[in-house]
Amino acid sequence: MKTILKLEEAAMTALGIYLLTIYNLHLSFWIWAILFFSPDIGMLGYLVNTKIGAAVYNLFHHKGIAIALAATGFYLHNDVLTAIGILLFAHASFDRIMGYGLKYEDSFKNTHLGSLEKN
């Protein structure tokens, strides 16, 4: 089952990257490569405490929020907002391939996909 879920997330990541080729805002590849990992700035919330850290991290990695942003941008004909939503979606899917899920408030390593701690 774990492999099937990772394949599903890989397909969503690939779809997101494909859509970013359509909504590329005429930015070069290397800028997109940097922007792809920019949602991880949400980890800075952990400098305050785990509750704030989880909330900020989850805000940047929630697929529902990403889809809402992309849909709003599409509806409003705003390519920047559409691209931000697609980027957040693709990044969140990529993170889930790696085992990084939405965070619980008690620890960065406690996610909705399970613990990141090695047994």
State both tokens at 18: 């494909």
State both tokens at 64: 């529902």
d(CA 41, CA 19): 23
Q: What is the pLDDT of residue 114?
A: 74
- The DSSP call for residue 116 is -
Q: What is the pLDDT of residue 47?
A: 94
Chain segment 85-106, per-residue pLDDT in tens: 999 999 999 999 998 989 999 9
d(CA 12, CA 80): 20
Chain segment 62-74, per-residue pLDDT in tens: 999 999 999 999 9
Long-range CB contacts for residues 108-113, cutoff 8 Å, separation at least 24: 108/43, 108/46, 108/50, 108/53, 108/54, 108/57
Predicted TM-score of the model (pTM): 0.90
d(CA 66, CA 93): 11
Chain segment 19-47, per-residue pLDDT in tens: 999 998 999 989 999 999 999 999 999 99
Confidence of residue 1 (pLDDT cuts 50, 70, 90): low
Residues in the chain: 119
Confidence of residue 118 (pLDDT cuts 50, 70, 90): low
